Amino acid sequence: MKAKTIQAGVHAGPRLDRLPIARFHWRILGLISAGAFLDAFDVYLAGGVIAALKSTGFATLGQAATFLSATFLGMLIGAGVAGYLGDRFGRRYSYQFNLALFGFASVAAVFAPSMLFLIGCRFVMGIGLGAELVVAAGTLGEFIPPSHRGRWGSIMGTIIGSGLLVATMIGFVVIPNLGWRYMFAIAGAGALLIWILRKKMPESPRWLESVGRLDEAEQLLREIEAEVEAEKGPLPKPVHAPTVALAHAPLSRLFAAGMRGRLFAATLTAVSINVSVYGFVAWLPTFLVGKGQTMVQSLGFTTLMSFGSIVGSLIAVGIADKVSRRTSMVVSGLLILLFGALYPNADSAVALAVTGFLLVTSIYVLTAIGLFLYVPELFPTAYRLRGTGFAGMCARAASMATPFLTVALFQHFGLEGVLAMVGTVLALMMIAILLVRIETRGASLDEIAQTPEATPETAPLGLVGE
DSSP character string of 147-198 = HHHHHHHHHHHHHHHTHHHHHHHHHHHHHHHH-THHHHHHHHHHHHHHHHHH
Kindly state whether residues 255 and 206 are assigned to the same domain: no
Integer-rounded Cα radius of gyration of the chain: 22
User: Quick check: is 61 in a domain?
Assistant: yes
Contact 245, 446 (CB under 8 A): no
Q: Can you tell me the distance from the alpha carbon of 40 to that of 27, in angstroms, rounded to the nearest whole number?
A: 20
Q: Can you tell me the distance from the alpha carbon of 340 to that of 279, in angstroms, rounded to the nearest whole number?
A: 12
The reported pTM is 0.84
For the chain, helix (H) and strand (E) counts, in that order, are 20, 0
Q: Can you tell me the distance from the alpha carbon of 95 to that of 291, in angstroms, rounded to the nearest whole number?
A: 44
Q: Tell me, what's the pLDDT at 414?
A: 78
Residue 59 DSSP class: S
DSSP string covering 222-273 = HHHHHHHHHHH-SPPPPP-------S---GGGGGSTTTHHHHHHHHHHHHHH
User: Quick check: is 376 in a domain?
Assistant: yes
Contact 48, 180 (CB under 8 A): yes
Contact 132, 105 (CB under 8 A): no
Kindly state whether residues 183 and 280 are assigned to the same domain: no
- Angle (CA) 316-318-324 rounded to 5° is 70
Q: Domain tally for the chain?
A: 2
Q: Tell me, what's the pLDDT at 394?
A: 93
User: Quick check: is 466 in a domain?
Assistant: no
The 10 Å CB-count burial string (b at 16+, else e) for 261-282 is bbbbbbbbbbbbbbbbbbbbbb
User: Quick check: is 319 in a domain?
Assistant: yes
Kindly state whether residues 192 and 317 are assigned to the same domain: no
Q: Which residues of the chain have pLDDT under 50?
A: 1-7, 244-245, 295-296, 299, 451-466
Contact 83, 388 (CB under 8 A): yes
Q: Tell me, what's the pLDDT at 150?
A: 93
Helix (H) or strand (E) holding 142: none
Q: If 0-12 CB within 10 Å is exposed, 13-18 middle and 19+ buried, where does residue 286 land?
A: middle
User: Quick check: is 174 in a domain?
Assistant: yes
Residue 281 DSSP class: G
User: Quick check: is 330 in a domain?
Assistant: yes
Kindly state whether residues 193 and 259 are assigned to the same domain: no
Q: Can you tell me the distance from the alpha carbon of 432 to that of 436, in angstroms, rounded to the nearest whole number?
A: 6
Kindly state whether residues 206 and 257 are assigned to the same domain: no
Kindly state whether residues 184 and 123 are assigned to the same domain: yes
Helix (H) or strand (E) holding 67: helix 61-88
Kindly state whether residues 33 and 144 are assigned to the same domain: yes
Kindly state whether residues 311 and 166 are assigned to the same domain: no
Kindly state whether residues 269 and 138 are assigned to the same domain: no
User: Quick check: is 26 in a domain?
Assistant: yes
Q: Tell me, what's the pLDDT at 16?
A: 94
Contact 304, 357 (CB under 8 A): yes
For residue 153, what are the domain limits?
Answer: 12-210
Q: Which amino acid is at 197?
A: L
Residue 458 neighbours by CB under 8 Å, 6+ apart? none
Kindly state whether residues 196 and 323 are assigned to the same domain: no
Kindly state whether residues 304 and 400 are assigned to the same domain: yes
Kindly state whether residues 257 and 374 are assigned to the same domain: yes
Residue 414 neighbours by CB under 8 Å, 6+ apart? 290, 344
Contact 270, 391 (CB under 8 A): yes
User: Quick check: is 262 in a domain?
Assistant: yes
Q: Which of 160, 194, 210 is the last residue of a domain?
A: 210
CA distances from 296 to 47, 118, 171 (A): 17, 31, 19
CATH number at 189 reads 1.20.1250.20
Contact 77, 173 (CB under 8 A): no
